[in-house]
Amino acid sequence: MGRERRKTENLKQLTHGLKMGIPIAVGYFVVAFSLGINAAGAGFTAGQAAMASFLCMASAGEYALFSLAAASATYFEVAVMELVVNARYLLMSCALSQKLSPDIKTAGRLHIGLGVTDEMFGVAIAQDKVTHLFYFGMMIVSTFGWTLGTWLGVTVGNVLPGNVVTALSVGLYGMFIAIVVPAAKHDRHVLYAALAAAVLSAVFSFAPVLSKLPEGIRTIGLTVLVSAIAAIVFPLKKKGEA
Amino acid sequence: MSGNVYLYILTAFAVTYLIRVLPLTLIKKEITNRFVRSFLYYVPYVTLTVMTFPAIVTATGNVYAGLASLVVGIVVAVFTENLFLVAGASCVVVFIVNLIANAL
């Protein structure tokens, strides 16, 4: 490829990434705003919450971070919880590694690793071939929406009327529902696993003695238990599915 | 909060980043162990369910608003499968139920 043509191709890839990032960023902004309200409730300043969002780019992971920090958990508990809550990114990164253009060097992979989220993964995996510049384009726009949303959630969240803040604080749960339900709809094994998880979670939240377990331990324990049983009872087919 | 905020953030970042970047840089081959693949497949759905339920019901201080939010969220998710519509609908429902509850 000539130098001029490579330049044009690079610009095309970057622009394509930026464009694909716009709808993601708009959605992120709203959800991050709700996350920012949670962060403020946990005692984080706007700068600290924005820093967490810029670095982590993970709704469930940051929600866990904010709640555990508010509960004065140990750093080890935070580390284990992040591992559990974000375990799905391990699978996504495995799948994404098969899609990355072979000319992406280690530095590029280290950079893309910052932006493996549910939505960016979803968009990337639908491409024929993922270039570094395409992913970079998506990351610029998405990270901006996510970080700005979090920052505003902390700052403006306090100014909003109480009933609006209360309403927005369930936005994250709504996002989690939006990840689980479609999967459960298309795969009844996921449905069974999710139902079992919901029942056990309710039992461990309300039953005497059991409800004394710390929230983090409950989440980790039930996740490992239910996922392991599901993996034994409903193993994936030899090829594909995941 | 009694710990250092920045250490909490860095811990979360370090773990999250390693999870994402290690497969991208190290694993060139597909995971073949059936149990590991199956386990990892179920983990996100199970953990998100545990985190959402029953927490969403009690999150707003009004159990009816929480339940309505859960039900509407599931219904919208079944029909639209759209992340942002579901999150938006869950919030709007809580707002409306709380308005009604306060008016009564």
pLDDT in tens, A31-81: 898 899 989 999 999 999 999 999 999 988 999 999 999 988 999 999 998
In chain B, which residue's Cα lies nearest the Cα of A69? B1
Query: What average pLDDT does the segment A110-114 reach?
Result: 95
State the pLDDT confidence band at B27, using cuts at 50, 70 and 90.
low
Chain B within 8 Å of A27 (Cβ-Cβ)? yes
The confidence score (pLDDT) of residue A231 equals: 96
User: B residues 59-98 near A, CB within 8 Å?
Assistant: 59-61, 66, 69-70, 73-74, 77-78, 81-92, 94-95, 98
Cα dihedral value B74, B78, B84, B88, nearest 10: -40
Inform me whether the pLDDT recorded for B57 exceeds 90.
yes
pLDDT tier at B29, thresholds 50, 70, 90 = low
Number of domains comprising chain A? 2
A234 and B38: CB-CB below 8 Å? Answer: yes
Q: Is residue A87 part of a domain?
A: yes
Residue A28: exposed, middle, or buried by beta-carbon count in 10 A (0-12, 13-18, 19+)?
buried
Neighbouring residues of B24: CB distance < 8 A, sequence distance ≥ 6: A93, A96, A97, A100, A109, A110, A112, A113, A116
- Out of A169, A202, A220, pick the residue that ends a domain: A169
Asked if residue A118 and residue A75 are part of one domain, the reply reads yes
A194 shares contact with chain B (CB less than 8 Å): yes
Residue at A11 is within a domain: yes
Max CA separation in chain B (angstroms): 61
Mean pLDDT calculated for residue range A5-10:
88
Please, which pLDDT band fits residue A241 given cuts at 50, 70 and 90? very low
Three-state DSSP string of chain A = CCHHHHHHHHHHHHHHHHHHHHHHHHHHHHHHHHHHHHHHHCCCCHHHHHHHHHHHCCHHHHHHHHHHHHCCCCHHHHHHHHHHHCHHHHHHHHHHHHHECCCCCHHHHHHHHHHCCHHHHHHHHCCCCECHHHHHHHHHHHHHHHHHHHHHHHHCCCCCCHHHHHHHCCHHHHHHHHHHHHHHHHCHHHHHHHHHHHHHHHHHHHCCCHHHCCHHHHHHHHHHHHHHHHHHHCCCCCCCCC
Residues 120-139 of A with CB under 8 A from B: none
Of A69, A110, A163, the CB nearest to B95: A163
ipTM: 0.86
B15 with A83: Cβ contact below 8 A: yes
Mean pLDDT of A229-240: 86
Amino acid B60: pLDDT: 85
Q: Which residues of B touch A77 (CB under 8 A)?
A: none
Phi and psi, residue A130, nearest 5°: -105, 120
Angle between helices A118-125 and A87-99 (to 10 degrees): 20
Write out pLDDT tens, residues B70-101: 999 999 999 998 877 898 899 999 999 999 99
Q: Which two tokens stand for residue B33?
A: 């162990």
Sign of CA dihedral A106, A108, A109, A113: positive
- Give the distance from residue B104's alpha carbon to the nearest chain A alpha carbon, in angstroms: 16
Which of A169, A201, A221 represents a domain boundary (last residue)?
A169
Q: Judge whether A176 lies within some domain.
A: no
Tell me what pLDDT residue A15 has: 94
What pLDDT was estimated at residue A239? 58
Q: Do B47 and A60 touch (CB under 8 A)?
A: yes
Question: In angstroms, rounded to a whole number, what is the distance separating the alpha carbons of residues A140 and A34?
Answer: 21
A177 in a domain, yes or no? no
Total domains in the fold of chain B: 1
pLDDT band at B28 (very low <50, low <70, confident <90, very high): low
Contact of A201 with chain B, judged by CB distance below 8 Å, is answered with: yes
Half-sphere exposure of A166 (CA within 13 A, CB side): 20
Which of B17, B18, B25, B51 would best serve as a mutation to test chain A binding (most A beta carbons within 10 A)?
B51
pLDDT, mean of residues A142-153:
96
Average of per-residue pLDDT across B23-30: 76
Rounded to whole angstroms, what are the CA distances from A61 to A43, A84, A172, B67?
Answer: 17, 9, 11, 24
Percentage of residues in chain B having pLDDT higher than 70: 94
For residues A85-103, give the mean pLDDT.
Answer: 81
Chain A, 42-81: which have a CB under 8 Å from a chain B CB? 42-44, 48, 51-52, 55-58, 60-65, 68-70, 72-75, 78-79
Within a domain: A175 = no
In the predicted model, what is the mean pLDDT of chain A? 88
What's the longest Cα–Cα distance across chain A?
Answer: 71
Are A126 and A221 found together in one domain? no
Lowest-pLDDT choice from A1-15, A155-169, B1-15 = A155-169
Quick one: pLDDT band at residue A95, thresholds 50, 70, 90? confident
Q: Kindly state whether A85 is in contact with chain B, defined as any CB-CB distance less than 8 angstroms.
A: yes
List CB contacts of B45: < 8 A, sequence separation 6 or more: A179, A180, A183, A184, A190, A193, A194, A197
Using the beta-carbon criterion (under 8 Å), do B11 and A82 form an inter-chain contact?
A: yes
Closest Cα in chain B to A75? B8
- Whether residues A205 and A93 share a domain: the answer is no
Domain region containing B17: 5-103
Helix (H), strand (E) at residue B8 = helix B5-25
Residues of B in contact with A30 (CB under 8 A): 84, 87-88
Residue that is last in its domain, among A169, A202, A217: A169
Question: A185: nearest CA in chain B?
Answer: B78
Please tell me whether residues A121 and A220 are part of one structural domain: no
B24 to chain A, any CB pair closer than 8 A? The answer is: yes
Q: What is the C-alpha separation between A52 and A38, in angstroms, rounded?
A: 13
pLDDT digits (tens, 9 = 90+) for A186-206: 999 999 999 999 999 999 999
Instruction: Mark whether A58 and A110 lie in a shared domain.
Output: yes
Q: Is the pLDDT of residue A242 over 70?
A: no
Are A168 and A193 contacting, i.e. CB atoms less than 8 angstroms apart? Answer: no
Chain B residues within 8 A of A70 when measuring between CB atoms: 1
Q: What is the pLDDT of residues A16-38, one digit of tens each?
A: 999 888 878 877 887 898 899 98
Q: Which residues have a Cβ under 8 Å from the Cβ of B14 and sit 6 or more positions away?
A: A79
- Contact check, Cβ <8 Å, A226/B46: yes
A208 lies in the same domain as A152: no
Output A63 or B43, whichever has higher pLDDT. Answer: A63
Domain that holds residue A213: 187-242
